[in-house]
Amino acid sequence: MTRRLAEVAKKVGVSEATVSRVLNGKPGVSETTRETVLTALDVLGYERPTQLRGDRGRLVGLVLPELQNPIFPAFAEIVGGALAQQGFTAVLCTRTVGGVSESDYVDLLLQQHVSGIVFAGGQYAQGDAPHDHYERVLDRKLPAVLVNAAVEHLGFPQVSCDDAAAAEMALSHLFALGHRRIGMLLGAPDHEPSRLKLAAYRAFAEANDLELPADHVEHTMFSVEGGHAGAARLIKAGVTGVICASDVLALGAIRAARRAGLAVPEDFSVIGYDDSALMNCIDPPLTTVRQPIDAMGRAAVELLVAQIDAAIVPANELLFEPELVVRSSTAPAPRSVRQGSAGSPSLPAGRSASASSASSVTPGSSAAGSAPRRPAARAE
C-alpha cells in the first residue's frame, strides 16, 4: 500500500496524503486532481478500490461451463435477478469446446475490474484440471463464490447441494422398489460431485449387503450422447435401474434403454439429478433429485455481496439438502430379477433417516434448508 501511494504520488506530482484521500474517497481534493490520481492508478496497473470503479465496479462475472444443460440457464436467471436487486449487473461467461477457457474469462473479468465472480460447474470441481486462475483471483483479493462441490483447499466460500444425500435418496427409492442391480452414471473420475455420489453408493451398498461390481458404475461426458453410451454398457451388465448425475444423462439413458428394446420404467428405471426445466414433460416424466437452485443462487449472491461490502466471509461450504421428485420413470424391478424383499434400506453410519428418505415430493414444493459445513476441505 505504501509503495502504491509513493508511486502514484510521484507520477502525479502530489503528496502521498493527497493520493490517500482520493483512494479513500475523502473530501479536500479538487475534481481535477482526483481524476488525475485515478488515471495514474490505471496507468501504473493498480486496481482501483471497488467504490471508485464507476459503472465497471457494478459488474459481476458469472462463469458457467455451458448453456445446453437447462439447469445452467435457470441458475443464470436466478443469479442475474438477485444481483440486479443488489444493484449489480451479471456478465455471463460461458465456456465452449475449443473456445474461450475459464482461465481466459478470469483474465478478462480482472481487466474489466469487476466487483466479484460467481463460478458454477467450473474447473474447481475437477481434481486433474488446472487451478492457477483461482490463485489469481485470490491474489487480487477479488470476492468470489463457488457453486457446488470443489476440490480441497481452494479457499473460497461455497454453496453446494449435498451430493451424498442425493445419491442416498435415489438409491433408497430404487431399493424400496426391489432393485438390487443398480447402476450409476457419473461424470469423470476426478469430478468432485461424482466422486461424492460414488462414495455414498459404496457406503449404501455395504450397509445393505449389495454387490457393487465395477461394471455397475460408468464415467462419461455430461451430454445426452454420453448418457446413451454409458447406459448402454450398464444395460449389458444387467442393471435394472440407473441413477444419473444429471437430467441430461438421464435422457440419454432413456434413449439407450429404448434402443435396447426395453420399456421405461417397466423393464428399466431411470433417475436423474437437477430437476431441470421440462423434465415433467418428457415421456415418461422423469423421477429426479432436485437441486434447490433458487435458494442456492440467492445464497451465492448474498455471500458475494457480503465480501464486496468488506465483510469477513469464511471459506466454508453452505450445504443445501436436495429433494427426491418421484414421477413415472421408476417402477418396481422386473419380477424375473428381483432379489429379496423390497424393505426399508439400512443407512450408512452417520446419515439420518430424514436425509436419505425415499418419500416423494411434488414439483414446486419448497426447497430444503441449508447448513454450514466444515471449511473447503471435504474428506468423504
Instruction: Give, for all 380 residues of the chain, the pLDDT tens digit.
Output: 577 788 888 888 899 889 888 888 888 888 888 878 877 776 676 767 766 665 556 899 999 999 989 999 999 999 999 999 999 999 999 987 777 899 999 999 988 889 999 999 999 999 999 999 999 999 888 999 999 999 987 999 999 999 999 999 999 999 999 999 999 999 999 999 999 999 999 999 999 999 899 999 999 999 999 999 999 999 999 999 999 999 999 999 999 999 999 999 999 999 999 999 999 999 999 999 999 999 999 999 999 999 998 888 999 999 999 999 999 999 999 987 655 444 567 666 555 433 333 333 433 333 334 444 433 333 23
Residue 132, judged by CB atoms within 10 A of its CB (0-12, 13-18, 19+), counts as exposed
For residue 347, the model assigns a pLDDT of: 61
> CA angle 337-197-147, nearest 5°?
145
For 220-255, b/e burial (b = at least 16 CB within 10 A) is bebbbebbbbbbbbbbeeebbbbbbbbbbbbbbbbb
Q: How many CB atoms lie within 10 A of CB 302?
A: 16
pLDDT at 175: 97
State the pTM of this model.
Answer: 0.78
Cell of 104: 481466459
Sign of CA dihedral 160, 161, 165, 166: negative
- Give the type of residue at 91: V
Amino acid at 143: P
Q: Which residue's C-alpha cell is 501511494? A: 5
CA distance 108 to 165: 37
Could you say which DSSP state residue 32 is in?
A: H
pLDDT, residue 356, reads 35
Q: Which residues pair with 160 in a beta bridge?
A: 319
Q: Determine the Cα–Cα distance for residues 6 and 27; give it in Å rounded to an integer.
A: 20
Cell numbers describing residue 179: 432393485
Q: Is 122 helix (H, G, I), strand (E, B) or coil?
A: coil
What are the backbone dihedrals phi and psi of residue 94, each rounded to the nearest 5 degrees, phi first? -115, 125
| CA separation for the pair 102, 116 (Å, rounded) | 15
Q: Looking at residue 363, what is its pLDDT?
A: 37
Distances (CA, A) of 261 to 202, 257, 266, 268, 283: 30, 6, 11, 10, 16
